[in-house]
């Protein structure tokens, strides 16, 4: 993995940090913001949206992915995730991200915007179940 240039990674982290302010987390109080850069250069943000019926909640990362896909984007370059303490994407988010490329760079930052980890979807989800597994 080639690390992102510092200005590029910080820009994406800053956008995720700004998005985080719109998160809806009245139950956990754990606000999450994500900013997803596509290979075409567009950025889609997402926030976590909780629901009293917990399984109906949506994570910030999947929110950003679904926004991008709904706009016709299918190839992702990088995603920044900002939480209070630099929490990593959950398993469901890792699986959704793997659908669109194991080489997607994942930036994990805290609420101050400090980059804590730079990795890839492949490193976060080794042995991912991908579309190739469905080929007969």
Q: Map out the domains of the chain with their CATH numbers.
A: 6-134 (3.40.140.10)
Q: Is 70 helix (H, G, I), strand (E, B) or coil?
A: helix
* E strand or H helix at 7: helix 6-20
Measure the CA–CA gap between 59 and 130, rounded to whole angstroms: 20
Cα diameter, the chain: 47
- pLDDT range class, residue 136, cuts 50, 70, 90: low
Mean pLDDT computed over every residue of the chain: 96
Q: What are phi and psi of 77, to 5 degrees?
A: -100, -45
pLDDT tens digits along 63-88: 999 999 999 999 999 999 999 999 99
pTM (2 decimals)?
Answer: 0.94
β-pairing, 105-109 vs 76-82, is: parallel
Q: Which of 50, 61, 111, 118 is catalytic?
A: 61
118 assigned to active site:
no
């Amino acid at each position: 993995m080639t690390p992102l240039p510092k200005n590029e990674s910080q820009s994406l982290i800053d956008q995720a940090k700004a998005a985080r302010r719109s998160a809806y987390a009245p139950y956990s109080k754990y606000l999450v913001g994500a900013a997803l850069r596509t290979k075409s250069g567009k950025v889609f943000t997402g926030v976590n949206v909780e629901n009293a019926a917990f399984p109906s909640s949506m994570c910030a990362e999947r929110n950003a992915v679904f926004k991008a896909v709904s706009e016709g984007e299918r190839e992702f370059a990088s995603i920044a995730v900002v939480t209070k303490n630099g929490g990593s994407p959950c398993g469901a988010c890792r699986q959704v991200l793997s659908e669109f490329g194991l080489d997607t760079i994942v930036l994990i930052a805290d609420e101050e915007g400090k980059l804590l980890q730079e990795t890839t979807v492949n490193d976060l989800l080794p042995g991912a179940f991908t579309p190739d597994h469905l080929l007969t």
